[in-house]
Amino acid sequence: MTGKTHAAFGILLGTAYAINTSHDIGTSAVMIGTTGVFSLVPDICHSGSKIGREFKLLSRLINFFFGHRTLTHSLLFMAIIAVLMTLSNIELTYIICAMLGIASHILLDMMTPRGVALLFPLDYKVTLPLTFKTGGAMDLSLATTFSLLTAYLLYTEIFHRTLEWIHL
């Protein structure tokens, strides 16, 4: 999947999580942003990705030692990030957002024919039964759908909070 699709899905999940945990607007915005950013993190192993272009040296090192869609697309990577964030005393809410973002990325990449090394270091690729070409019509359609669903969630949440505010 493309970076746009990954970001759109991450933002959708972050929005749903923020709304369902009833945080103030500032915290909700940080939650949504955290989930969106972390939905791009697994592609650090690909120097042509949005995040790979920002961290070229790290991207090339990870790709050299592990390859694409291996370590950074695995449950092990999620555990490493969760432990590092916990040791850094990051609030649990944001760790959950990071895990949602990474998981969303991995799930979408499991929908491509290439799949992911979910159980890295085991050399076994996991794909879902229904797969789509990265950058194809379905990829673009998913990005659009995720964006529209996010807009719908935000609209209904704002509408609901406005009604509460005016006591209707």
Kindly state the average pLDDT of the residues 137-159: 91
Kindly state the average pLDDT of the residues 99-122: 96
- 168 pLDDT exceeds 70? no
- 22 pLDDT exceeds 80? no
The pTM of the full predicted model, rounded to 2 decimals, is 0.91
Report pLDDT digits (tens) over 39-69: 999 999 999 898 999 999 999 999 999 988 9
Q: How many CA atoms lie within 13 A of 95 on its CB side?
A: 15
Decide: helix, strand or coil at residue 163. helix
What is the rounded average pLDDT for all residues in the chain? 93
Cα–Cα distance for residue pair 46/128, rounded to 1 Å? 22
Tokens encoding 103: 């998981």
Tokens encoding 166: 């005016």
Q: Report the pLDDT value the prediction gives residue 25, as an integer from 0 to 100.
A: 86
Q: Report the pLDDT value the prediction gives residue 70, as an integer from 0 to 100.
A: 94
Domain count, the chain: 1
- DSSP-derived secondary structure for 12-58: HHHHHHHHHTT--HHHHHHHHHHHHHHTTGGGGG-TTSHHHHHTHHH
- 121 pLDDT exceeds 90? yes
Q: Report the pLDDT value the prediction gives residue 33, as an integer from 0 to 100.
A: 97
Q: Report the pLDDT value the prediction gives residue 135, as an integer from 0 to 100.
A: 86
Neighbouring CB atoms inside 10 A of 69's CB total 23
Instruction: Find, among 11, 10, 16, 35, the residue nearest to 108 by Cα.
Output: 10
Helices (H) and strands (E) in the chain, counts: 7, 0
Structural domain of residue 62, as residue ranges?
3-165
Report pLDDT digits (tens) over 91-105: 999 999 999 999 999
